[in-house]
Structure 1
Amino acid sequence: MEFRGTGIGQGVAVGPVVRMAERLPEPVDRPSHLDPAREEERARASVSVVADDLQRKGAQAGGAAQDVLEAQAMMAEDPTLMDDVVKRLADGKTAERAVFEAFAAFRDLLSSMGGYMGERAADLDDVSQRVVAHLLKVPAPGVPNPGHRFVLVARDLAPADTALLDLTQVLGLVTIDGGPTSHTAILAREKSIVAIVGAADATALADGDTVIVDAENDLVVQGPDADAVAAAKERIAERAARAAAPITPGALADGTSVPLLANLGSADGAANAVELGAEGVGLFRTEFLFLDADRAPSVREQQEQYTRMLSAFPGRKVVVRVLDAGADKPLSFLNDAEEENPALGLRGIRALRHAEVILREQLTALAAADAATDADLWVMAPMIATVDETRYFTDLCRELGLKTAGVMVETPSAALIADRVLGVADFASIGTNDLTQYTMAADRLLGTVANLQDPWAPAVLRLVAEVGAAGGRLGKPVGICGEAAADPLLAVVLVGLGATTLSMSPSALADVRASLARYTREDAERIARAALAAEGAAEAKQAAKQAAESAPTPTGTTVP
């Protein structure tokens, strides 16, 4: 039997299934035999223990996982949440029930907001489970330890569990819920875990079932025959050989250069990215400096972090995205006004233009870091939709001494007028996650529409082609910094559509480098045309595969 989901990365895994334990039952709603002050003491103690544990696990995991777990720890100790718990305790409830109800109410509020805040609702559920488990003195639901290597199957996986998976034991991961941009997917991608998320029919899998987890083909195979298992193991060996191969610059088979860059969320990941072959940074997210703060960081504080990043890439390109925040990632010092549809609200360049001093200080810090290092700094603005916004940003960059100023293409508007946008900007970088979201009218954080959140959609590819063509005519670089660049076959298509650089999670660099080396520019353009001509995302991917299989095989390589 086969189950479909969304594959994360290109790996393959074979092994026995171990199901993750279900959630704790809802605490019984009964009067407490303790006074409210004693129950409050119990609740605060358990919240503190859980927050400390999340902080400790975050420090142990590092990278994106640390950011996620630290955010969860802050959720646990949110004063508003505790105030709600105390009110419920005053009504005679037990600490367990008061925590459950307060967290559930806050979770429902976040869910109703959608977007970034809606995605945080699942994280809050995990915190609630951990606090209730501590209060009840029972183990919190977590990853099992059967004593042998296994494929983990779960409804979804909490960030704390994903971050600390024992990769010597967990061969692969299958989740029933979740989408390609959930925290499970993000952390699985960062840790190179073979994973398929949103495989709704995987509820049929039972402990002990042998499965093949084929992330490249978005497929889980239950009870595969011996030939299928042998073929999967051969693919695993081939992928391991590619990862161990000497690192070379990204290029097509005919020598066309396609620099492969890293997406990074802080300077902490720079050394690992270089080790894995990153030729620079295509997306440095600066939000880590601003989120969960009650004030904007100073110019000096920012400069220190930017200098750390730039110093790790002497002589190489580092593309920094200025703060991408707004109503979907509310900051009290920027814009925390409630909006009914925050994904379409005051975010990105819109929010920064509304609070220009924050943007000016960030650009000033970047200019100072640039002057102090030898990296090739490029700066770009998020959520550009108009030429006016482009000119506003590039003029401000030049006023403050930054030599290379570009834009993120994440809206259909910017893609459709890319020739005019690139007439003003020095470069464009396509954020395929948001571009897909806005093109398909499908929230990229909602599992219910995960099937539409597919960058293979011909409508998305056509918009990428518009930007690529405009860049080609004007001689302006066009990069890809969304997760689409991490798909080895889609990476070939994107180059065929005009992308000049690709940026991705460092763990994906080896697979993409090997894929590009199999095809010439002429091949890439022909494969891209085949994908563009398809009716839907699945058909586009299949058409690209068929076109790729017909390409001549360069010496010393094999067509996947």
Structure 2
Amino acid sequence: MSRPLRGIGVGGGSAVGPVARMAPAPALPAPRPVTDPAAEAAAVRAALAAVVTDLNERAARTSGPGSEVLAAQAVMAADPILADEAAALAEQGTDGAYALTAVFDGFRTALAAAGGYFAERTADLDDLRDRAVAHLLGLPVPGLPDPGHPYVLVADDLAPADTALLDPERVLALVTVRGGPTSHTAILAKALGVPAVVGCAGAMELADGRQVLVHGADGVVEPDPSPEAVDRAAAHERRRRERSAGFQGPGRTADGHPVALLVNLGAPHELPGAAAADAEGVGLFRTEFLFLDRAEAPGLAEQAAAYRQVFAAFAGRRVVVRTLDAGADKPLPFATSTDEENPALGIRGLRTAARDPQLLETQLAAIAAAAADSTAQVWVMAPMVSVPREAAEFAARVRAHGLPLAGAMIEVPAAALRTDRLAPVCDFFSVGTNDLAQYAFAADRTLGSLAELLDPWQPALLGLVATAAGSAAEHGRPIGVCGEAAADPALALVLVGLGITSLSAAPASLPDVRAVLAAHTLAECRELAELALLADDAATARDTVRSRMAGRSEELPPAAV
């Protein structure tokens, strides 16, 4: 068997099948002289218009997140600045294909320099550029392969226009060289329930037709797997599905220790599925969807109406509302500055309230208004809390609005190391493992090349979680995990062993987590946590824990090494 490839696992389960690689982008021909600049400019505009029409038609044929992503990409392609700049170059005598390429690449450079969320959108621009050039040259538009049988899709990166139309009956798994845990590929793979590995260096070296076994939970791709490995993976998948179907209700360990299982919620279209899930509530309600892509902040009435819908859907259950997490990968013209040299370390999260206190005041008033006529248990927490003073001031503002429970996100090392000082003023905590890993390892969370450092199994990261959980327990404060780590069943056991009291993840992840908790005692969770903390690196921690689990119950096979 060839050496396994590793990346970032962003979709659970496993799948085996032949590789089919994405069709390449159209190659630019040699520049040609432009004899009719006006016609060339018109052709450029027509190519962009064709891309917009195609994307809108695709959006109309889909629904949910796929449709929204395609519609958003169509808006990007319809930006008049793109068309005007490319047409201007054509009118000056530049070959239309080169004019389009130059303008898109200029926008791409600006987005890449902005980092975070914007850097991940560079794949969108690459796709729009390639589609526009293909239309201009009369070439086939790059897209998904169609080998005539189910396959494992391998690509350098996937654009929204492609991922939105993936058929899970045909695409068995996704593997990309680029991309991060918050990329469109990751988001849509989870929505489709397709195993996926992103940030997987060397993936494009896998030839079409080559058999691979993709472990979505571990971020491992096994080329040329042995029949025994395939049989083990298939048997594990069957056991996993059967086991998950056999457990319902509140989360708890085999000896009855309660672990609240909650869902993450971040957009209106997710609400029906989240509310229908077998969950005890919402562990992370991201409110940014109300603020993004706007010139001005939404008013109190608009916000209250949106929050009221969520609270009504989760009547009687917990809803943990995170206040606006603007800045870094979510810049807003009315809340953040555009001239920060390092936005990830700048004015973001709760820090924006210092710049515009009324922004937070309006949001808290809206949450309070929506909670007043609801039976939902509304908890409110602040993102990017760093020092006790910030936590105290936030909690006071929350309680001044009549909201009884105020908490803080633990996503910077300073907060994890000083949770004991935050606890006297906070009612609860929630650990954001994605950002905590980014800041602990000084590693941009969007860079696939830093996948090893961003792995939630990193012992140093788990050590920070253990420190925070220990301090929370000493003060009788609940502490949850709402990052990617909560969706990994094996890691969920470790987190519980470290002292985490609730886990919040995508609805599709909860059955596996519930089942594996029910098969292990709290003492066993603590033993697994100790093994992970003693490991030298993430891969060793993961493999050691999974091997111990497999040795006891055969519920999880050891990860590929």
- Normalised TM-score (structure 1): 0.94
Q: Distance in 2 between matches of 1:56 and 1:425?
A: 49
Q: Distance in 1 between matches of 2:204 and 2:4?
A: 10
1:126 counterpart = 2:124 = no
> CA distance change for structure 1 residues 327 and 175 in 2, over 3 Å: closer, same or farther?
closer
Partner of 1:101: 102
Q: Distance in 2 between matches of 1:406 and 1:435?
A: 17
Summarize the alignment of residues 272-287 of structure 1 with structure 2, pairs less than 5 Å apart. 272-287=273-288
Q: Tell me, what secondary structure is at the counterpart of 2:152?
A: strand
List structure 1 runs of 4+ shifted beyond 6 angstroms.
none
> Any conservation in 2 of the 1:110–1:121 contact (CA below 8 Å)?
yes
| Pairwise CA distance, 1:108 | 1.1
> Any conservation in 2 of the 1:3–1:202 contact (CA below 8 Å)?
no
Partner of 2:499: 498
1:3 counterpart = 2:4 = yes
Q: Distance in 1 between matches of 2:376 and 2:405?
A: 12
Q: Distance in 1 between matches of 2:253 and 2:462?
A: 20
| Pairwise CA distance, 1:266 | 1.6
Partner of 1:460: 461
The aligned amino acid for 2:440 is T
Summarize the alignment of residues 186-201 of structure 1 with structure 2, pairs less than 5 Å apart. 186-201=187-202
| Pairwise CA distance, 1:177 | 2.6
> Any conservation in 2 of the 1:178–1:184 contact (CA below 8 Å)?
yes
| Pairwise CA distance, 1:58 | 4.5
| Pairwise CA distance, 1:60 | 5.1
> CA distance change for structure 1 residues 91 and 439 in 2, over 3 Å: closer, same or farther?
same
* Greater shift in the superposed pair: 467-476 or 195-204: 195-204
Task: Write the deviation string for residues 144-176 of structure 1: whole angstroms up to 9, x where unpaired.
Answer: 122211111112211221122111111112222
Q: Tell me, what secondary structure is at the counterpart of 1:156?
A: coil
Q: Distance in 1 between matches of 2:532 and 2:457?
A: 8
Q: Distance in 2 between matches of 1:491 and 1:247?
A: 17
> Any conservation in 1 of the 2:549–2:555 contact (CA below 8 Å)?
no
* Greater shift in the superposed pair: 40-49 or 131-140: 40-49
> Any conservation in 1 of the 2:58–2:70 contact (CA below 8 Å)?
yes
Q: Distance in 1 between matches of 2:60 and 2:445?
A: 28
1:316 counterpart = 2:309 = no
Q: Distance in 2 between matches of 1:387 and 1:297?
A: 29
> CA distance change for structure 1 residues 360 and 3 in 2, over 3 Å: closer, same or farther?
same
> CA distance change for structure 1 residues 33 and 302 in 2, over 3 Å: closer, same or farther?
farther
Partner of 2:302: 301
Q: Tell me, what secondary structure is at the counterpart of 1:126?
A: helix
Partner of 1:209: 210
> Any conservation in 1 of the 2:387–2:422 contact (CA below 8 Å)?
yes
> Any conservation in 2 of the 1:64–1:265 contact (CA below 8 Å)?
no
Partner of 1:266: 267
Q: Tell me, what secondary structure is at the counterpart of 2:255?
A: coil
Instruction: Point out where structure 1 has 5 or more consecutive residues left out of the alignment.
Output: none
| Pairwise CA distance, 1:558 | 4.3
> CA distance change for structure 1 residues 378 and 55 in 2, over 3 Å: closer, same or farther?
farther
Partner of 1:333: 334
The aligned amino acid for 2:24 is E
Q: Distance in 2 between matches of 1:422 and 1:495?
A: 19
Q: Tell me, what secondary structure is at the counterpart of 1:442?
A: coil
Partner of 1:406: 407
> Any conservation in 1 of the 2:18–2:208 contact (CA below 8 Å)?
yes
> Any conservation in 2 of the 1:10–1:511 contact (CA below 8 Å)?
no
> Any conservation in 1 of the 2:546–2:556 contact (CA below 8 Å)?
no
* Greater shift in the superposed pair: 218-227 or 410-419: 218-227
* Greater shift in the superposed pair: 24-33 or 341-350: 24-33
The aligned amino acid for 1:331 is L
Q: Tell me, what secondary structure is at the counterpart of 1:200?
A: coil
Partner of 1:388: 389
The aligned amino acid for 1:26 is L
Q: Tell me, what secondary structure is at the counterpart of 1:429?
A: strand
Partner of 1:115: 116
Q: Distance in 1 between matches of 2:126 and 2:547?
A: 43
* Greater shift in the superposed pair: 164-173 or 202-211: 202-211
The aligned amino acid for 2:11 is G
Q: Distance in 2 between matches of 1:59 and 1:387?
A: 49
The aligned amino acid for 2:260 is P
Partner of 2:258: 257
Summarize the alignment of residues 20-419 of structure 1 with structure 2, pairs less than 5 Å apart. 20-26=22-28, 28-36=30-38, 38-58=39-59, 61-245=62-246, 247-419=248-420
> CA distance change for structure 1 residues 63 and 413 in 2, over 3 Å: closer, same or farther?
farther
The aligned amino acid for 2:122 is A
> CA distance change for structure 1 residues 317 and 488 in 2, over 3 Å: closer, same or farther?
same
Q: Distance in 2 between matches of 1:524 and 1:394?
A: 32
The aligned amino acid for 2:376 is A
Task: Write the deviation string for residues 428-469 of structure 1: whole angstroms up to 9, x where unpaired.
Answer: 110000000000110000122122111111111111011111
Q: Distance in 2 between matches of 1:470 and 1:62?
A: 44
> CA distance change for structure 1 residues 60 and 450 in 2, over 3 Å: closer, same or farther?
farther
Task: Write the deviation string for residues 472-507 of structure 1: whole angstroms up to 9, x where unpaired.
Answer: 111111010001101111111111111111001112
Q: Distance in 1 between matches of 2:244 and 2:169?
A: 17
> CA distance change for structure 1 residues 443 and 172 in 2, over 3 Å: closer, same or farther?
same
1:18 to 17, 20, 44: 20
Q: Distance in 2 between matches of 1:500 and 1:59?
A: 42
| Pairwise CA distance, 1:232 | 2.1
| Pairwise CA distance, 1:62 | 4.3
> CA distance change for structure 1 residues 257 and 62 in 2, over 3 Å: closer, same or farther?
farther
Q: Distance in 1 between matches of 2:321 and 2:455?
A: 25
> CA distance change for structure 1 residues 138 and 276 in 2, over 3 Å: closer, same or farther?
farther
> Any conservation in 2 of the 1:88–1:98 contact (CA below 8 Å)?
yes
Q: Distance in 1 between matches of 2:66 and 2:184?
A: 9
> Any conservation in 1 of the 2:65–2:269 contact (CA below 8 Å)?
no
* Greater shift in the superposed pair: 95-104 or 501-510: 95-104
Q: Distance in 2 between matches of 1:288 and 1:67?
A: 12
Q: Tell me, what secondary structure is at the counterpart of 2:503?
A: strand
Q: Distance in 2 between matches of 1:516 and 1:208?
A: 38
Instruction: Point out where structure 2 has 5 or more consecutive residues left out of the alignment.
Output: none
* Greater shift in the superposed pair: 441-450 or 75-84: 75-84
> Any conservation in 2 of the 1:249–1:260 contact (CA below 8 Å)?
yes
> Any conservation in 1 of the 2:395–2:425 contact (CA below 8 Å)?
yes
| Pairwise CA distance, 1:549 | 4.2
Q: Distance in 2 between matches of 1:201 and 1:475?
A: 47
> Any conservation in 2 of the 1:150–1:169 contact (CA below 8 Å)?
yes
Partner of 2:524: 523
> CA distance change for structure 1 residues 377 and 89 in 2, over 3 Å: closer, same or farther?
same
> Any conservation in 1 of the 2:283–2:319 contact (CA below 8 Å)?
yes
Task: Write the deviation string for residues 17-39 of structure 1: whole angstroms up to 9, x where unpaired.
Answer: 21221122136433333333x44
> Any conservation in 2 of the 1:487–1:512 contact (CA below 8 Å)?
yes
| Pairwise CA distance, 1:559 | 5.7
> CA distance change for structure 1 residues 392 and 33 in 2, over 3 Å: closer, same or farther?
farther
> CA distance change for structure 1 residues 189 and 338 in 2, over 3 Å: closer, same or farther?
same
The aligned amino acid for 1:126 is D
Task: Write the deviation string for residues 502-523 of structure 1: whole angstroms up to 9, x where unpaired.
Answer: 0011121111111111111111
Q: Distance in 1 between matches of 2:309 and 2:178?
A: 38
> Any conservation in 1 of the 2:28–2:97 contact (CA below 8 Å)?
no
Q: Tell me, what secondary structure is at the counterpart of 2:217?
A: helix
* Greater shift in the superposed pair: 69-78 or 318-327: 69-78
The aligned amino acid for 2:145 is P
> CA distance change for structure 1 residues 209 and 317 in 2, over 3 Å: closer, same or farther?
same
Q: Distance in 2 between matches of 1:493 and 1:64?
A: 32
Q: Distance in 1 between matches of 2:442 and 2:65?
A: 27
